[in-house]
Every structure is written in C-alpha cells, then in structure tokens.
C-alpha cells in the first residue's frame, strides 16, 4: 500500500505572515477597493457595466431585472457575493451620489434621506446613454486588453475605454487595507475643458487647469466656502473642502419668517439629514436658541426642502451662523485622491489624473484607429478586387462555368491555374492564366451576387471605394500626426460636452470663518429633580414652590443650584460623571425630563447611581467611600475638581469590587456596615483614613468567606437610626461600638 508523501515547507512564521498579509492587502487594494485612474471604476463597477453591455441592456431597450444582472455578473466575472454587486449597481443609479449616473434605474433605488433600495428581485435597470456611448462605445474596436475571468471560462476587459476622466466626473470613495480614497465629483463640462487645455499644453500647471475646472461640483449642490484652499488641495491631492448648505429666507404665515434649506452638504446624505433635524431640536431644547418655532422636512423627489419657522423679530444672520456652527449644515469633505495608477496605488494631484487619462485616451484612440484602418484596408482590397472583376466579368463567368469545383475556380482567380477548366477559346485561357487576385478578393468574387453587375451598383461600388480611400488617408493622418489625433479627440470631447454637460450645482466662494458669540444666560436659581428611574429635569423657582410637597414625595433627589453650575453623579463603578445644568432641559413640573444617559456618559445598563450633588457643594465637603469588599476611605471634595465636562475616576477599586456607598461625612461621627449575611459592625469615623481618590482605602470589616458588605450608615453624635432586619426593627445605636477591621456581630432581634 502506497503512503502519501507530505509536502512540508519550512519557513519563518513572521516572514510567512508578512508575505500573506501583503498579498491580501494588495488584493483588496487592486481588486476591490480602489478605482483605476484610467476609467475611474472599481472592478465590481467595471464588471457590472460590462455584463450589462454583454446582455445588451442598452438605454433604448427595455429594463431588465437587477437580480438577472447581479446573478450574471457574479457567475461570470465577480465571485464576491451578490450584495456588493447590487450595492455597486444601486449607487451607479443614484443621482444624489454620482455626478453623472451610469445606470438608469427603474423602481425603488433608495432616497437622499438614507432609505435603502428595494431588493434586487423587485427593481430593474438598463445602461444610461452616456455609459453606452462614452464608456462602452469602442469595446468592439480592440481598444483595450481582455483578460480571463476568475475561472478562465470568459474574457473580461482589464479596463473600460472611457473617453472622459470618470475619476473626476463621478469621484470615488473606498476603504482598502491601510489606505482609503475620497475624491469629490466634478462638473462634466469643466472636466472636458480641462482635458482639452492639457492636450493643447502638456506643461500646464494645476493653477492653469483650475481656470477651467473651478472645483468640486456635488450632486447635492451646496456652497464650497474655502475657495482659496482648493489650489493646495488639487496640487497635493489631499485636504479638506468646507461645504455649507444653501439657506433661503421666505415669508411665512402671521408675519413669521421661514428659513428654507434647499441644498445640503454632500456629507449630509442619508441618515445625517435626520441627525441634522435632531441637532436643531437639541438647540431649542438646550436653549441655545429660542428663535426657532417649528421645523419640518418637506423634501420630495423634486429636491431638498427643510423648513425652519422662526419668530418675527429673529436675527436671521445670527441664527444661520448658529446652524452652520452647531450642526452639519456646514461640514468638511476630506479629499484623498488615491487611485490605482500603473498597477499600484498612488496619491495623485489634478494634473496627474488628467495626464494619466490623456495618455490612456491617446492609447485607446491609437488602437481604435489602427483597428478602423485595418478594416478599411481590408475593405479596399475587396473593393478593388470587385472593381477589377467587373472589368473582366465575362472571363470570370467563363471560368466559373468551366470549373468543376469552387476550389478549382478560386485557384484560377488567385494563381492563374487553368488546368481542368473548359474555356471557349485559347484567348480566354491565356487571359485566365494571367489573373492574380488575392485570397480575399477571390472569395468576394465567388460570393458576389449578380445584381452587383447593374450599372448603378457598379457606380455605388466606385463611390464606396473612393470613400474608403478617403477614410484610409484620414486614419493614417490621425495615426501619424499627434496634432491631428488631438484634434480628433477634441472633436469627440466637444460632442460629449454638448450632449451630456449640465450646469454647475455647487457654488464656490470664499467665506469668513464663523465666530459664534453665544449669548450668556442670565444666572438664576433653579431646582434639580431626579426620580427613581434616573430621569432628571430642571424647574424654575416658581414651579418648585407651587409643587414643593409633591416634589419631595415623588423624587429621589431634590436640590437647588444655579443654572450655570455643574452636577456630580457618582456610580458604583467608581466613576464620577459631570453634567452641566444647562444641558438638562428646563421643563414644566409634570414633564418627564431626560434619562441621565442622554446628558452624560452614564450607562444605565451597567452602572448604579449612588450620589448626585452640585459640584460647588461637593468641593467643600469630605466624602466617604465604602465598597462591597469592605474597603473604606475618606476623600476631600477638592480632589474632584475637574475641567472635564464628562467623566473621571472617583476612586480606585480592587478587581471584582464595586462601591455600595458614597456620601458626605460632615457632622457625622460613626460608621455602621451591614453585610449580606446580617453581620453588623459600628466604629468611629475617625478610624477611616483620609486618602487620595486614587487609593483603594482601608478595611472596615473582616468578612466571612462569601460574604459582602450590603449597606453603610453614617451616624451623627447622640442620634439614632432604625433599620429593618428580617421584618424587625433594629436600632443601630444598640450595636456594640468596636474598632475598625473587626469581625462584627449578629444582633439579637
């Protein structure tokens, strides 16, 4: 019995991992995430468009189911799952994402507000006319190389013969391994003008190109407000473009004014529109502005229309500036013009992108005219053969009638072989022996139909021959002269611009940085209320006085503070969350308020609130901390002074330990600890050391195995406190006073 030989490769683990990771990274970069600078397409987009071309789903033919397109693309060219193909197909059909859509979608292809497209079994699509003419029009002229698909059963183009810099027109975005690309869309007409300018002067600078290409042109419109920074961005290929939405003022009912947002920043697409509406509502809730009365989203298929109804006497300019500063109505678009050039990822500036495209344009145009020239030369050869045949048509008919086979007749036409052919006269045989047609001419003569011998048909053949000669001369002139080819390309680009260019949507200007002077609120005394569920709110002095009794009965925490104060919220995880009073909504007494989670980093699912107090008060007190494992310490309130507006660590906890008590020790003398098993210990508070907040503390009680501290009580001098143990009352003063770190006792009830 034969045994299999194991093929064991010995190598350094680190080297193998490095090589494998680099291979994977390059595969993602080249084969998935980044577009090619030549056609501006990622592989999935290129394969989807080519598959639609193969299926013949033209702009002037019926739509086909997206599921058919996706399935065919996945089966033939792109074996990476249907969701990525469908997503690419959807994005190419969304006019709010692309400068020019490449796919004409029929059905629900999503909305600008972030609604997803319908499933591919419901929607249909076909190619746009632009795609058919400009992206795929020359595929039949051998202008690009075809490579085997993933299983080598089909051929696919390595790049599409796109005649405009699609990388600029439609932009690109993608995340690879260790790198990402983000290129804004541009106006097709301006891009074409920049390409023509480069062809006229190869030494043109980025500044020179920007006389034609002004900057990005987003499908959502908006206003680019850092015009002076665009030159640096396009020279380096990286930078940040600042975009603002377009705001118009209209008259509303009752003399009120309407702020109408008709264009939004490109970065606000999708769910960010809903976030913008929430941010505006938050500005009203937190009293950043009191001018906004109502907000409504009236957007439709006709376009964006977000309406803010404002008060009669509102300062429109100040309110608009507030929206730009505090919401995403002004945002930045990060530019990183990274693309695959010559087979490797490279960050390119504007001139380099156009240079790569023009080089590609000359390459595909050269191959196109070489193919056309070859076809015309082949046509000329056949036409010359047919014209010559018409002159000796009687002899050819005699050869055909005297031949025994097609091959015999063909041999006579090509090489003048007359053996075996019956001729009427020796003169005819001698004439036949002098015939020297080419192989292609002989085949054309043998297949020629008799109607071609009509006089008019012969005239048409002669005219066609003259046209062929003119075409050959023109093609040779284009191929042999750079200026002539450039002129031919310019003519094509002009035709594309005339048919497909649209007016610019995005305005480009310089705008001053918005400096927002926040109105200082008048300081006033307010009351903080928090219920047992952690919902908190602020009410004014008058509302509290009217409902004082109900407030003290219904709410877990009640205290007064200034509206400019901060509040400290201590939890059992050893954190102190800092909340600004102004971040808590001031509401009517019976309104619910907001959960602590909404105004701080507090997480109700994993934390328990132990103490809530004004920071001004906390800073002057001494706080006692007690943990479940019996650790105690006193900490001066000044330790909790912080400039942070969110969260700090209030204490250090041992592993698996939690706080069970945080409270002020002012005017308190004794501490009582109660364990889960019912053990109590009472000792003087002065035995608990004062420490830094970063200390763990000292042990207050020696716990039995499995026991934990459950409660802590502070007692003032000559005071008593009664607790319930096993449904029976227990006076804490009856517990024997002992020293700290004892075992404690179980009281008799």
CA distances from 150 to 29, 75, 154, 345 (A): 17, 10, 8, 22
What is the rounded distance in angstroms from the CA atom of residue 402 to the CA atom of residue 419?
A: 11
What is the rounded distance in angstroms from the CA atom of residue 606 to the CA atom of residue 313?
A: 47
Consecutive H or E run containing 396 = helix 393-402
What is the rounded distance in angstroms from the CA atom of residue 158 to the CA atom of residue 147?
A: 6
Determine contact, residues 185/330, Cβ cutoff 8 Å: no
Match 């927002």 to its residue by tokens. 516
Determine contact, residues 40/22, Cβ cutoff 8 Å: no
The answer for residues whose C-beta is within 8 angstroms of residue 747's C-beta and 6 or more apart is 680, 725, 730, 734, 735
Token pair, residue 418, equals 């007359």
Residue 499 Ramachandran class (φ > 0 left, ψ -120 to 50 alpha, else beta): alpha
- CA 587-592-598 angle, to 5 degrees, is 90
What is the rounded distance in angstroms from the CA atom of residue 740 to the CA atom of residue 717?
A: 18
Determine contact, residues 26/85, Cβ cutoff 8 Å: no
What is the rounded distance in angstroms from the CA atom of residue 268 to the CA atom of residue 253?
A: 29
- CA 16-18-24 angle, to 5 degrees, is 100
Q: How many CB atoms lie within 10 A of CB 313?
A: 8
CA distances from 617 to 546, 612, 666 (A): 25, 11, 12
Token pair, residue 341, equals 């050039």
What is the rounded distance in angstroms from the CA atom of residue 701 to the CA atom of residue 730?
A: 20
The sign one gets for the Cα dihedral 122, 127, 128, 129 is: negative
Catalytic residue, chosen from 53, 122, 500, 555, is: 122
Token pair, residue 619, equals 């800073």
- CA 694-695-696 angle, to 5 degrees, is 125
β-bridge pairing 507-508 and 223-224: parallel
Determine contact, residues 651/574, Cβ cutoff 8 Å: yes
Burial class of residue 256, CB neighbours in 10 A (0-12, 13-18, 19+)? middle
Alpha helices by DSSP H, listed for 434-530, are 439-447, 455-480, 482-500
What is the rounded distance in angstroms from the CA atom of residue 220 to the CA atom of residue 184?
A: 12
Residue 50 Ramachandran class (φ > 0 left, ψ -120 to 50 alpha, else beta): alpha
Match 């015309």 to its residue by tokens. 376
Decide if 122 is catalytic: yes
What is the rounded distance in angstroms from the CA atom of residue 462 to the CA atom of residue 450?
A: 17
Rg (CA), the chain: 42
Q: What backbone phi and psi angles, to 5 degrees, belong to 11?
A: -155, 165
Token pair, residue 512, equals 């001053």
What is the rounded distance in angstroms from the CA atom of residue 186 to the CA atom of residue 192?
A: 10
What is the rounded distance in angstroms from the CA atom of residue 391 to the CA atom of residue 405?
A: 23
- Find, among 643, 642, 650, 640, the residue nearest to 610 by Cα: 650
Token pair, residue 668, equals 């308190």
Token pair, residue 193, equals 């003008």
Residue 676 Ramachandran class (φ > 0 left, ψ -120 to 50 alpha, else beta): alpha
What is the rounded distance in angstroms from the CA atom of residue 519 to the CA atom of residue 291?
A: 13
Which residues are part of the catalytic machinery? Answer: 122
């Amino acid at each position: 019995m034969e045994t299999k030989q194991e093929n064991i490769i010995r190598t350094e683990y680190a080297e193998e991992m490095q090589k494998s990771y680099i291979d994977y990274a390059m595969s993602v970069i080249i084969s998935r995430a980044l577009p090619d600078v030549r056609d501006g397409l990622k592989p999935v987009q290129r394969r989807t468009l080519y598959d639609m071309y193969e299926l013949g789903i033209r702009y002037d033919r019926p739509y086909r189911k997206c599921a058919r397109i996706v399935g065919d693309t996945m089966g033939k060219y792109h074996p990476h799952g249907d969701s990525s193909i469908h997503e690419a197909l959807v994005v190419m059909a969304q006019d709010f994402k692309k400068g020019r859509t490449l796919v004409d979608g029929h059905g629900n292809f999503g909305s600008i507000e972030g609604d997803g497209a319908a499933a591919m079994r419901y929607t249909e699509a076909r190619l746009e006319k632009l795609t058919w003419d400009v992206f795929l029009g020359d595929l039949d002229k051998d202008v690009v190389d075809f490579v085997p698909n993933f299983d080598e059963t089909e051929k696919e183009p390595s790049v599409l013969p796109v005649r405009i810099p699609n990388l600029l027109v439609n932009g690109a975005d993608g995340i690879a391994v260790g790198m990402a690309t983000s290129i804004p869309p541009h106006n097709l007409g301006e891009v074409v003008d920049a390409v023509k300018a480069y062809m006229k002067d190869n030494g043109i600078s980025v500044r020179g190109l920007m006389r034609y290409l002004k900057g990005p042109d987003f499908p959502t419109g908006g206003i680019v407000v850092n015009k002076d920074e665009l030159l640096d961005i396009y020279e380096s290929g990286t930078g940040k473009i600042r975009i603002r939405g377009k705001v118009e003022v209209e008259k509303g009912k009752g003399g009120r004014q309407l702020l109408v947002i008709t264009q939004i920043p490109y970065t606000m697409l999708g769910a960010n529109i809903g976030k913008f509406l929430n941010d505006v509502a938050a500005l009203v809730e937190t009293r950043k502005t009191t001018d906004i009365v109502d907000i409504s989203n009236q957007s439709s298929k006709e376009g964006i229309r977000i309406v803010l109804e404002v008060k009669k006497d509102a300062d429109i300019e100040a309110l608009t500036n507030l929206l730009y500063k505090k919401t995403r109505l002004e945002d930045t678009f990060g530019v990183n013009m990274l693309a695959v050039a010559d087979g490797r990822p490279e960050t390119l500036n504007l001139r380099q992108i156009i240079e790569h495209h023009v080089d590609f344009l000359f390459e595909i145009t050269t191959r196109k005219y070489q193919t056309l020239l070859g076809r015309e030369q082949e046509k000329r050869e056949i036409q010359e053969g047919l014209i010559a045949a018409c002159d000796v048509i009687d002899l050819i008919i005699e050869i055909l009638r005297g031949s025994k086979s097609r091959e015999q007749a063909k041999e006579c036409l090509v090489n003048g072989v007359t053996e075996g052919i019956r001729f009427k006269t020796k003169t005819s045989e001698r004439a036949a022996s002098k015939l020297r047609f080419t192989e292609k001419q002989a085949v054309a003569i043998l297949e020629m139909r008799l109607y071609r011998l009509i006089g008019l048909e012969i005239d048409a053949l002669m005219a066609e021959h003259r046209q062929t000669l003119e075409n050959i001369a023109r093609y040779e002139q284009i191929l042999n002269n750079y200026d002539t080819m450039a002129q031919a390309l310019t003519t094509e680009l002009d035709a594309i611009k005339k048919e497909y260019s649209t007016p610019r949507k995005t305005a480009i200007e310089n705008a001053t940085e918005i400096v927002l002077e926040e109105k200082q609120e008048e300081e006033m005394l307010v009351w903080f209320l928090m219920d047992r569920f952690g919902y908190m709110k602020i009410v004014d002095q008058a509302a509290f006085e009217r409902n004082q009794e109900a407030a003290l009965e219904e709410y877990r925490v009640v205290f007064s503070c200034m509206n400019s104060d901060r509040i400290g919220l201590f939890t059992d995880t050893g954190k102190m969350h800092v909340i600004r009073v102004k971040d808590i909504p001031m509401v009517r007494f019976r309104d619910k308020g907001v959960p602590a989670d909404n105004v701080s980093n507090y997480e109700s699912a994993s934390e328990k609130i132990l103490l809530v107090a004004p920071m001004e008060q906390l800073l002057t007190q001494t706080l006692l901390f007690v943990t479940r494992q019996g650790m105690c310490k006193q900490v001066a309130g000044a330790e909790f002074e912080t400039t942070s507006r969110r969260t700090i660590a209030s204490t250090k906890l041992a592993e698996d330990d939690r706080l069970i008590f945080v409270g002020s020790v002012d005017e308190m003398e004794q501490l009582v600890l109660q364990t889960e098993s019912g053990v109590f210990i009472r000792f003087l508070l002065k035995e608990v050391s004062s420490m830094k907040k970063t200390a763990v503390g000292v042990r207050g009680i020696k716990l039995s195995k499995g026991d934990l501290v459950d409660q802590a009580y502070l007692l003032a001098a000559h005071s008593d406190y009664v607790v319930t143990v096993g449904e029976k009352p227990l006076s804490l003063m009856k517990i024997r006073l002992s020293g700290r770190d004892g075992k404690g006792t179980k009281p008799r009830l």
